[in-house]
Amino acid sequence: MKIRTIGNFLYKFKIFKRIVPTLLKLMVKFFYIKEIKIIHNNLIFSLNPKNPIDRETYLKNKYEDDQRTFLKKKIDEKGIKIFIDIGAHMGFYSINLSKKKNWYSCFWTNYRKF
Tell me what the pLDDT averaged over the chain comes to: 84
**Confidence band, pLDDT 50/70/90 cuts, at residue 48:** very high
50: in domain:
yes
Calculate the alpha carbon distances from 48 to 28, 87, 102, 103 in Å: 10, 17, 28, 26
69: in domain:
no
80: in domain:
yes
**How far, in Å, CA of 23 to CA of 4, rounded?**
12
47: in domain:
yes
State residue 33's pLDDT score.
93
Calculate the alpha carbon distances from 100 to 73, 82, 95, 97 in Å: 11, 11, 10, 6
Per the structure, the count of domains in the chain is: 2
